[in-house]
Amino acid sequence: MSVLACPACGSQQLKNYRPSRKSGRRNFKCRSCGLVGWSDRADLVLPDTVSLDDISVEQRAAWVASKRDTGAVKAQAEVLDRLGARLKGSAGRHLYDIGTGDAQFLTVASDRGYEVRGNDLIEANVHLAAANGVTVDLGDLSVLSVPQHDAVTMWCVLAHVEDTAGMIKSSFDLLKPGGTLFLQTPRRTRIDTAAMAMTAATRGRMSRWIDRRIAPHHWQLHTAESITAALSAAGFVDVEVIPVVRYSLKSGTYLQSMGVPAGAARAVGGTVDRFIDRGWAPRIVLEAYASKPGSLASAGAGPATDGATAAG
């Protein structure tokens, strides 16, 4: 087993599950904070960046088109409202979005008066962002020189990176004293708990749900306790965690990724999407807000530059 201590709270009290017969992946659960994840994720080597030779702009644009539009801008506006309340309208409102994708969120933030910038590891996303009029840095924070900002955001980034504690620490370093972090990350639900129990009971045979929910692209599912522990360990204060109904992919696309035939996935997906739009679905996502101790500078101040390079 590669993961020997909980990535969130540091506990070594981990329950190990039988490996999936289909994928071969083995999962764990932290008995302390409830985080579940892929035990062998630390053995996966990820590239520093993904070039246009690997993923073209057209391929990435097609992926963006497969995502759900309904409620996205509304959810982003609600997040910006909460950020604004925490920032209390001070210090120039400079915002950095880690793993920003096509920078659609940053265009909304810019329209709301924020000075915006972000980074991404996929070169095609940098081009898509530029088409939206947003400058995005290509590369990991460890190789970028980024000044401190009033707000730092991460939309479904934490579950993708190998060193989650390091990423949270980088977000802390990237903030000015008194600044605010927002992050969204997948949540462990009762359905996930039941599915893991079913996988164990069938000796790894019935694993389709868990193979999709805990995978190379999302290697851990947090609880409110686990994300609070992780943020507090990095030095954050005033942590607020909110379970929400938020589904980024269209249901038909998601069902196909689980092996459902395309025709059936489209037929069922439309109905599922309508339930989601009404909020009648499990809250599979956690939103978390947290503050860096200190006080923001007076209004109008730009990003700090005194040793503020973020380490990944």
Segment of 34-43, 88-97, 218-227, 297-306 carrying the highest mean pLDDT: 218-227
For the chain, the average pLDDT equals 84
Q: CA 164, 167, 170 angle in degrees (round to 5)?
A: 155
What are the pLDDT digits (tens) for 169-213? 999 999 999 999 999 999 998 989 999 999 989 999 999 889 888
Q: Name the least confident of 16-30, 66-80, 173-187, 223-237.
A: 66-80
Q: How many residues does the chain have?
A: 312
* Distance (Å, whole) CA 83 – CA 173: 18
Q: Tell me which of 3.40.50.880, 3.40.50.150, 3.40.605.10, 2.90.10.10 is the CATH number of domain 14-291.
A: 3.40.50.150
What integer pLDDT is reported at residue 217 of this predicted model?
79
Phi, psi of 138, rounded to the nearest 5 degrees: -95, 120
Global pTM value: 0.85
Kindly list the domain boundaries of the chain, sorted by start residue: 14-291
What integer pLDDT is reported at residue 1 of this predicted model?
54
| Residue that is written with structure tokens 């709270």 in the block | 9
What are the pLDDT digits (tens) for 61-84? 887 777 655 567 788 889 999 999
